[in-house]
Amino acid sequence: MKNQVVSKNVPSLDHDLVKKAVLIRAVENKLLQLFSEGKLNGTVHTCVGQEFSALAFSGQLAKEDTVFSNHRCHGHYIAFTGDYEGLLAELMGKQSGVCGGIGGSQHLCKDNFYSNGIQGGIVPVAAGMALANKLKGTKRVVVVYIGDGMLGEGVVYEALNIISKWNLPILIACENNYYAQSTPSKINLAGDILKRAEAFGIKTYHNDIWNTEELMQAASASIAEVREHQKPVFHLVESYRLNPHSKGDDDRDPDEINWYRDKDPINVFARENNPLFGKIQAETEQTVNVAVEKILKEPELDIRDYYQPLQEVACGPWEPLEEIDARQVELINVFFKEHMKNDRSIVFIGEDVWSPYGGAFKIARDLSDFFPDRVFSTPISEAAIIGISNGLAIKGFRPFTEIMFGDFITLGMDQIVNHAAKFHDMYNKQVKCPIVIRTPMGGRRGYGPTHSQTLDRFVTGIPNVKTIALNTLTNPQVIYQSIFNNEEHPVIVIENKLDYGSKIAKKRLPHYTYEKTSGDYPVVRIRPLQSAPNATLLCYGGMVATLLDCLEPLFINFEIKAEVIVLTKISPIDYAAILESVRETRRLYVIEEGTMTGGFGSEVAASVSERLYEQVRIKRIAALPVAIPSVRSLENQILPNVERILHSIAETL
């Protein structure tokens, strides 16, 4: 490590370059001071000592290029945007900050610069942005900054694999400062950093900050290579941060730190160019101080400019439900065929979706024949798939991303919760991420515990994310059309394996009317032709068939005249139709295929209780809280079946 530190040619570095480095350091030091004075929100991860790494890549890009950085992003930000004032204001929590004070130190966004404090997840998002550039045919470069610590995250390797296979024009700038937070990398980092990239067939380069001029030139060359050849590059930069990981948490050997402080390029330049440096230093500090004084007086963001409560949609008029003599899978497939033809921003991403296979459930049949440049059949990498889709979405595409089984959505939860759902809000509304993730949930095919689950609870109630569930009573094309027309934020569509083969609204019970509301996400209502209902049964998606089988026995045995309500939008829920029904019936049964605690039924029960003055009897009927067995006879008893639903309801009478 220490052998590489040579510090050649530093004293004769370009003065403008040094000024920029000094500015970065001055801002970082000022932030540390402000932190001590209690004037900052949260903590800071300063990059003091690593300024030239920022300047080498961020500082040598065109403004149409993109930078995606991590928690230690200040240097990268200032080098790319020059906006030190915005950064200061952001950390000081002011409205004029980069993200209005919402993002803080780790979550910056401005003019093609993005950062996120989640380790690893930024890489596939940056890869998605590079893919967007490639699809648009621009010769733009994306730089993603990772650290040695981030090499512990699996999603980085998922992304590297795809980056290499798909030839994405991205430069991975890896800053190795030998420590991941408090842990020296030699403890946690096995093998060789460069060999990791080489194993994926990615071209690698290796520099250090102390041979500063060489670093600047090598970085410039890497950027040019990515731009010209439209292929990825992995550029490793040895460096050392002179300050603690954040604030006050430094257990490193002080001698070691001092050794690197002595070799630090800015400090070397300062020693060799004393009067000049002193001037630069003084001027820079003055500039920063003046800015801080001004910013201190500025206001913070008003909550009303940040958060507005969602308006619930009123219950639309009821109209008759139409039958459609086509299977759900065909209808969805045709939707994509038609819309991908007319709209070049739509991208279809998933595992095994290429023709002739067309995806595990054949939703993507023939799509790659028609649109080979916009259908992506991915490796088995759920996190990277969703991350890449996020990057595409931010850059103006409409990705429809298929996760093969709903159970696998757990592998992509970080990308959904900490990336897709966050971008719009944490960047203070500057970007939108209109990703649509489609995934089939549900059992009754004997696939066993990890391929049969209904995990709606993990993808509902996420702020800024809508969750929709298809069913066999409404036209899926109408749903997807609504999503396509209206949604600018992440949408998760829960489909159902068993429903794919069904036609729409075909079988009808003779004594019931079938109606739906006319809105974007129709609510379906099935009620007795003449009799007034005395119970409301609520469900979504794949539970419809079982619930309808309950209607007649419910009446014959228990005199329950049930009105069934089927929701399409299950998060956030519009309660108008449910309340209208429950005010009359005073009995609400929520039947769900997921388990009970903290699930869909829980949410409905709580919300209905809160909204109604009238007393209502509510009960949830759900899957038993145990892994779903493969053997059919047991599976049928674990998941809600007609018999158990009838008994559960009877118990409440």
Partner 1 sequence: MKLLQSIIVPHEIVNDEFVTVIQCHYKSGDRVKEGDALVLIETSKMTEELYAGCGGYVYYRCQADAEIKVGERILEIYEQPVSSASVPPQKIPEKNEAPSNGGEAVFSQSALRLIEELNMSKDLFKGRDLVGTEDVRSFQLQPGPTVSDQLESAENIEFQKISPYKKREIEYLNDVQSSHLSNTVSMLVEVGSCLAELNRVSKFFRNSLLLIVLSKLPSLLKEYPELNAFYKAGSVGFYENTALGLAVNFGDGLRVLKLPETGEKSITDVEVLVFDMIKRYMGKKLTSKDVAGVTFTVTDLSKEGIHFFAPLIPKGQSAILGISAIDEKLQRCILSLSFDHRVTDGRKASEFLRKLKKRIEGR
Residues that bind partner 1 (CB under 8 A): 510-512, 528-531, 552, 555-559, 561
Nearer to partner 1, 485 or 530 (CB): 530
Name the helix (H) or strand (E) containing 512: strand 512-517
- Name the minimum Å distance from CB 512 to partner 1: 8
Nearer to partner 1, 461 or 528 (CB): 528
- Name the minimum Å distance from CB 370 to partner 1: 45
Q: How many helices (H) and strands (E) does the chain have?
A: 25, 25
Phi and psi for 170 in degrees, rounded to 5?
Answer: -130, 145
Which tokens hold the place of 499? Answer: 């429903």
Nearer to partner 1, 152 or 528 (CB): 528
Taking the C-alpha atoms of residue 473 and residue 501, their distance in angstroms, rounded to an integer, is 13
Taking the C-alpha atoms of residue 471 and residue 503, their distance in angstroms, rounded to an integer, is 10
**Three-point CA angle 233, 236, 241, nearest 5°:** 145
Nearer to partner 1, 531 or 609 (CB): 531
Taking the C-alpha atoms of residue 20 and residue 312, their distance in angstroms, rounded to an integer, is 50
Taking the C-alpha atoms of residue 646 and residue 547, their distance in angstroms, rounded to an integer, is 10
Name the helix (H) or strand (E) containing 226: helix 212-229
Nearer to partner 1, 33 or 531 (CB): 531
- Name the minimum Å distance from CB 510 to partner 1: 4
- Name the minimum Å distance from CB 552 to partner 1: 6
- Name the minimum Å distance from CB 558 to partner 1: 8
Nearer to partner 1, 342 or 530 (CB): 530
Taking the C-alpha atoms of residue 145 and residue 135, their distance in angstroms, rounded to an integer, is 22
Q: Are 75 and 108 in contact (CB under 8 A)?
A: no
Nearer to partner 1, 400 or 512 (CB): 512
What's the CA dihedral at 481, 483, 488, 490 to 10 degrees?
-150
Taking the C-alpha atoms of residue 615 and residue 624, their distance in angstroms, rounded to an integer, is 27
Mention every residue, 6+ apart, whose C-beta is less than 8 A from residue 366. Answer: 333, 337, 355, 358
Distance from the first to the final alpha carbon of the chain: 76
- Name the minimum Å distance from CB 507 to partner 1: 13
- Name the minimum Å distance from CB 389 to partner 1: 48
Nearer to partner 1, 508 or 583 (CB): 508
- Name the minimum Å distance from CB 579 to partner 1: 24
Nearer to partner 1, 319 or 559 (CB): 559
Q: Are 215 and 57 in contact (CB under 8 A)?
A: no
- Name the minimum Å distance from CB 332 to partner 1: 33
List the one residue out of 218, 235, 112, 233 whose CA is nearest residue 167. Answer: 233
